[in-house]
Structure 1
Amino acid sequence: MKILVIGGGGREHALVWKIKQSPLVTEVFCAPGNAGTEGLARNISVSATDLDSLLAIALENRVDLTVVGPEQPLVMGIVDLFESQGLKIVGPTAQGALLEGSKAFAKDLMKTHNIPTADFDVFEDKDAAKAYCHGKGALVVKADGLAAGKGVFVCKNEAEAVDAVEQIMGAKTFGESGNQVVIEQCLEGQEISILAFTDGHTVVALEAAQDHKAALDGDAGPNTGGMGAYSPTPVFTPALKEQVVERILLPTLRGLQEQDILYKGILYAGLMLTADGPKVLEFNCRMGDPETQPLMMRMQSDIVPALKACADGTLEKIHLEWKPDAAVCVVMAAGGYPGSYEKGQAISGLAQVASIPEAVVFHAGTKVEGDHIVTHGGRVLGVTATGKDITQAIDTAYRAVDKIRWEGAHFRRDIGQKAVKTQ
């Protein structure tokens, strides 16, 4: 099989790394890819949002299956386009991708189908949104549309909530994504990511992972696209996993079917484990980043049959096996991220990490420049390691991180500590 992976981040490097291991695969393409995918796939310098060029690449190279990494091309309708040309592709249609593309759409679906989530209201008027915050205490304010994981503000009080509304709707920090805001009750508990393969009918849940959204240790600082992740998550028991499948994932698919949407691909639920049980914080229509990195390290099964089954509608035949090891991903970011940052800093120490067999450096914001690999994004590397338990995986990941250098690099030092405390 020839497989095309769309995207150029750490998630896509991890997917390419795993797909490349399949005996079913003869060639992997990655568009646009990065310095890490270059050694595994044929990188093609085309943006993930240039749908017509991506279609031409798939047709010209007779690609058997396309796997979409980021959310933007899904929301733009890449699945609709590829399927109209008879191509197999993993992901939901543009209508299905509204589950991530519009938080208001997702919340309305959950409300209609009694899927547990926080109480909420949706606003198109800035002044009305600000007035709603009065006297409410802690709230979460979200830009309705896509914002690269950064359009969510967890606000401790009314003043912070009003400021978040102003940033989203007034200053238009996230552009047109801020035409609407969703304001919801602030849930308490541990946050968990549960990703699943689906063909629209069957759900095959992956192992759970826990992301670290905040930029700084102790969950301080602004939200980011994710500063690290680990798997498994001790607090997420097999009973909870079954509950999430039965009460959240399958009802979501059925709710979409009632709107004539057959949702195929990846269904990702960001959950809060509250005292009243798991509640949905958000849905995503693709693999998480950086959750994909530790999940690919732990997946024992060949991923390609599962991906193909999502597109073919034969997922009931798939059973995934997992390694008992723990895996931890530490994201190394450019100085200033998630704000403004410089590109082009030379990265050193990557060759030294190769001496640690349990560690893999997944590239995110990198490119090759002459004889050097340089930074080319906010989140630059996802240094990922396995171990017999979470403590060993953490130790190995940070041993690898400490070998890597570039000017201004920063990362959290507490990735995985929540798991250590609950072991």
Structure 2
Amino acid sequence: MGKISNINILVLGGGGREHSICESLKKSKNVQNIYCAPGNAGIKKIAKIANINSYEFKHVLKFCKKNKINFVVPGSEDYLEKGISDFLKLEGIEVIGPSKYASLLETSKYFTKKLCDLSGIKTAKWIICDDAKNAKVILKTKKFPIVIKMDSLAAGKGVLVAKKLNDANKFLDNIINGKLGSRKSKIIIEECLYGEEGSFFFAVDGNDAKYLGSAKDYKRVGERNKGLNTGGMGCISPSPRENKKVVSSVLKEIVKPTLENMKKLGYSFTGFLYAGVMFTKKGIYLIEYNVRLGDPECQAVLARLKTNFLDICLAIKAGTLKKLKIEKSKNISVCVVLASKGYPEKYAKGIEIFGVNKLNNEGDVKIYHAGTKKNNLGKLLTNGGRVLNVVGKAKNIKKALDKTYDICRKIHWKGYFYRKDIGS
């Protein structure tokens, strides 16, 4: 594949993941312009903010044509579920992400469970319920602990490991009352698996899958994995369980059978795929798929990439991943999420953040903005539940943690918090 220069890219999203993606793309000399919609206060420093509603695809298309966009990178699964790839590709605009149907690997856990059974992929035993009310009836006959999953998307909060019936009923009542995801969502009830979890990331071009890296994430809001599930409070990369044999097993036993059967169904997958797995005594089991780069895992995984991220995107687009060697640093990276008081439930916005502007965002520690904005006076304010990501890397986990937490302690705002046990 010959080198392409003067490339214009549009990144969709406004979180820490998108900040990291923009920064990684900007490293290439072949990039002319990076645009981001809606972006945030941190992204604004390294990319041009596109003043469009990123969920109005007609506006996105108009912007792409006007600014000669070579390809679009959707950060969030929401864009993919709504069919951004299908819509733009029909108009000749390339998208680094799967079609709406192929996105079912993430947007419908029921679809993925059926595909796992078809493909012979190890996954927890499961049953499907028509809705949350039906699930409440069925759970009366089940032994606990048990896992309850919403079939549809719920911003990373649609899964509960229920230790007792009362916990399960509270979770299902939140769905019934419209406080969590869609009231109409089917519910999957799964056996509870035991073991260590890990996330394994792949670039996919429709024919080949190339390994990008792995991470161990920390989903619970509280230390020692207590409290509610969140979109992620931090991670380390690589996963402590990563080795050549494990990566080969995940690729051969889980990812390749999935992609082959998707192709047989007539929907080949292109973009980024991550397999969330569990290492059990009986082998490696698939827990879930995500059809995009995770947040905050993306920040830690991209920090270790030695291969230019633009080259990976271009190879996905051209179907030439087989020819591309993807290299990773031997360093360990750590990402810690700084969040607003009340997250993942109700939290205040518009609170002034202190300390960020005094820090040098170069070298082995980076600060990615996840939920920030600037007011008319130029003050940095909170604008979300997950506000900032601090990513540090070093030769070993201790040094990476020390570097990362040293920066975390220099940032503050009223009511902020972060987990102090990432990496443990």
TM-score range, shorter chain: over 0.9
- Distance in 1 (CA, whole Å) between partners of 2:71 and 2:159 is 33
In structure 2, what is the Cα distance between the partners aligned to 1:380 and 1:71? 19
> C-alpha separation between the residues in 2 aligned to 1:125 and 1:290?
30
Cα offset for 1:364? 0.4
* Deviations 1:103-124 (CA, angstroms, capped at 9, x unpaired): 1111111111111111111111
Tell me, yes or no, if structure 1 residue 342 matches structure 2 residue 348: yes
Does the CA-based 8 Å contact 2:152-2:181 persist in structure 1? no
Alignment match of 1:81 (pick from 79, 84, 87): 87
Q: Deviations over 1:63-115 (max 9, x none)?
A: 01111100011011100011101111100000011111111111111111111
Give the aligned partner of residue 402 of structure 1.
409
Residue of structure 2 equivalent to 1:309? 315
Shift of 1:247: 0.6
For structure 1, the 5+ residue unaligned runs are 418-423
Specify the code of the residue in structure 2 equivalent to 1:338: P
Superposed, 1:12-31 pairs within 5 Å as 12-31=18-37
Per the alignment, residue 392 of structure 1 pairs with: 399
Q: Cα–Cα, structure 1 residues 185 and 48, in superposed 2: closer, same or farther, change >3 Å?
A: farther
Match of 1:109 among 93, 115, 129: 115
In the alignment, which residue of structure 2 is the partner of 1:95?
101
Relative to 1, partners in 2 of residues 1:246 and 1:145: Cα closer, same or farther, differing over 3 Å?
same
Correspondence for 1:421? none
C-alpha separation between the residues in 2 aligned to 1:247 and 1:144?
23
Query: Quick one: structure 1 residues 355 and 194, their matched pair in 2 at CA, closer, same or farther if it must change by over 3 Å?
Result: closer
Residue 122 and residue 202 in structure 1: after superposition, are their counterparts in 2 closer, same or farther (change >3 A)? same
Q: Alpha-carbon deviations, 1:272-297, whole Å to 9, x = none?
A: 11111211111111100000111111
The partner residue of 1:276 within 282, 290, 303 is: 282
1:171 and 2:171 are equivalent in the alignment: no
Q: Is the CA contact (8 Å cut-off) linking 1:165 and 1:181 kept in structure 2?
A: no
CA contact (8 A) 1:143 1:178 kept: no
* Post-superposition offset of 1:46: 2.8
How far the C-alpha of 1:356 sits from its partner, in A, is 6.9
User: Is the Cα contact below 8 Å between 1:328 and 1:394 reproduced in 2?
Assistant: yes
CA contact (8 A) 2:361 2:367 kept: no
Match of 2:370 among 354, 360, 364: 364
Distance in structure 2 (CA, Å) of the matches to 1:249 and 1:176: 29
Is 1:5 aligned with 2:11? yes
SS of corresponding position for 1:273: strand
In structure 2, the CA distance between the partners of 1:399 and 1:84, relative to structure 1 (3 Å rule), is same
Task: Find the counterpart in structure 1 of residue 299 from structure 2.
Answer: 293
Is the Cα contact below 8 Å between 2:132 and 2:185 reproduced in 1? Answer: no
Q: Partners in 2 of 1:325 and 1:111 — Cα distance?
A: 37
| Unpaired stretches in structure 2, ≥5 consecutive residues | 1-6
> In the alignment, which of 124, 141, 158 is matched to residue 165 of structure 2?
158
Q: What residue is the counterpart of 2:3 in the other structure? A: none
Q: Give the Cα–Cα distance (whole angstroms) in 2 for the partners of residues 206 and 47 of structure 1.
A: 31
Deviation at 1:192, TM superposition (A): 0.6
1:321 aligned partner: 327
Q: What do residues 5-64 of structure 1 show as CA deviations (whole Å, max 9, x unaligned)?
A: 111000000000110001221110011111111011001233432222111111110001
Equivalent of 2:66, from 22, 41, 60? 60
- Which whole-Å CA distance do the structure 2 matches of 1:20 and 1:178 have between them? 42
Aligned to 1:138: 145
Kept in 2: contact 1:217–1:414 (CA 8 A): yes
Amino acid across the alignment from 1:364: A
Q: 1:129-278 residue pairs with structure 2 within 5 A?
A: 129-133=135-139, 134-168=141-175, 170-176=176-182, 178-278=184-284
- Single out whichever of 178-187 and 157-166 deviates more from structure 2: 157-166
Report the more deviating stretch, 159-168 or 61-70: 159-168
The answer to whether the Cα contact below 8 Å between 1:365 and 1:377 also exists between their aligned partners in 2 is: yes
Q: Is the 8 A contact 1:33 1:45 kept in 2?
A: no
Q: CA deviation at 1:176?
A: 2.1
SS across alignment from 1:53: helix
Are the equivalent residues in 1 in contact too, given 2:75–2:293 (CA < 8 A)? yes
Aligned mates of 2:361, 2:260 — CA distance in 1: 48
Task: Kindly provide the CA deviation profile for residues 216-272 of structure 1, in whole angstroms up to 9, marking residues without a partner as x.
Answer: 100000000000011112222210110000010011101111211011001111111
Letter of the 1:256 counterpart: M
What SS class does the counterpart of residue 103 from structure 2 fall into? helix
Which whole-Å CA distance do the structure 1 matches of 2:68 and 2:62 have between them? 10
- Give the TM-score normalised by the residue count of structure 2: 0.95
Task: Report the CA distance shift for 1:356/1:19 in structure 2 as closer, same or farther (over 3 A).
Answer: closer
Q: CA deviation at 1:177?
A: 6.2
Equivalent position amino acid for 1:239 in 2: K
**Are the counterparts in 2 of residues 144 and 177 from structure 1 also a CA contact under 8 Å?**
no
Normalised to the residue count of structure 1, the TM-score between the two structures is 0.96
The residue number in structure 2 matching 1:420 is none
SS in 2 for 1:240: helix
AA matched with 2:197: E
- RMSD of the alignment, in Å? 1.3
Give CA-to-partner distance per residue, 1:335-393, whole Å, 9 cap, x none: 10001000001111013331773210000000111211110001000111111111110
Percent of aligned positions that are identical: 37
Give the whole-Å Cα distance in 2 for the aligned partners of 1:55 and 1:177. 32
The number of aligned residues is 416
Could you say if the C-alpha distance between residues 187 and 37 of structure 1 is closer, same or farther in structure 2, counting changes exceeding 3 Å?
same
State the partner residue of 1:382.
389
1:40 and 2:61 are equivalent in the alignment: no
| Mapped partners of 2:132, 2:80: distance in 1 | 29
